[in-house]
């Protein structure tokens, strides 16, 4: 059996954070934090597959957190979930490596579909990297 994917929800508002946790915990291992610094700290400690990220948070902005995530672990998928549904915010997030954008209030089916597709895209990319990088295959074999 394959290990379950791990998702990190980064959302300063308790209502949306807990709603996302309830929606996603049926399918994935889920962590939830209230700010960007907590997210960065957790990413250093845990193997995270995907992050849902609010853009408008106190302290570090979502864009700043996104930039830091992509520097630390570029293979983590990031889906922006925010009330700032303006096109410029979405474009800015995509420019810095977000894979998708969902507006609040969100719909359960949309969240599940976008998260599933983003996880599938990440897994396909990781598999492709492994197949095309012979040194990675060799390193993996040495660590078994």
More confident residue, 80 or 1: 80
Q: What whole-number distance in Å separates Cα of residue 79 and Cα of residue 77?
A: 7
pTM of the predicted protein model: 0.85
In the chain, pLDDT over 70 holds for what percent of residues?
88
Question: What is the CATH number assigned to the segment(s) 6-142?
Answer: 3.40.50.2300
Higher pLDDT, 8 or 124: 8
CA dihedral in degrees (44, 113, 123, 20; nearest 10)? 20
H helix runs in the chain, sequence order: 14-24, 36-45, 62-72, 87-95, 108-132, 134-142
pLDDT higher at 1 or 62: 62
pLDDT single digits (tens) 79-103: 998 886 666 777 888 899 999 989 8
pLDDT tops 60 at residue 139: no
pLDDT digits (tens, 9 = 90+) for 20-60: 999 999 999 999 999 999 999 999 999 999 999 998 888 99
Span 102-126, pLDDT tens digits: 988 899 999 999 999 999 999 898 8
Q: Which residues pair with 53 in a beta bridge?
A: 10, 80
């Amino acid at each position: 059996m394959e290990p379950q994917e791990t998702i990190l929800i980064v959302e300063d508002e308790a209502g949306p954070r807990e709603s996302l946790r309830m929606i996603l915990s049926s399918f994935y291992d889920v962590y939830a934090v209230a700010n960007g610094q907590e997210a960065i700290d957790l990413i250093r400690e845990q193997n995270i597959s995907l992050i849902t990220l609010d853009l408008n948070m106190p302290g570090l902005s979502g864009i700043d957190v996104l930039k830091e995530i992509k520097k630390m672990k570029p293979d983590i998928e990031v889906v922006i979930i925010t009330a700032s549904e303006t096109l410029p915010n979405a474009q800015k997030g995509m420019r810095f490596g977000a894979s998708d954008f969902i507006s609040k209030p969100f719909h359960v089916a949309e969240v599940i579909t976008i998260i599933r597709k983003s996880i599938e895209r990440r897994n396909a990319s990781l598999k492709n990297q492994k197949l095309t990088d012979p040194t990675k295959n060799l390193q993996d074999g040495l660590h078994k």
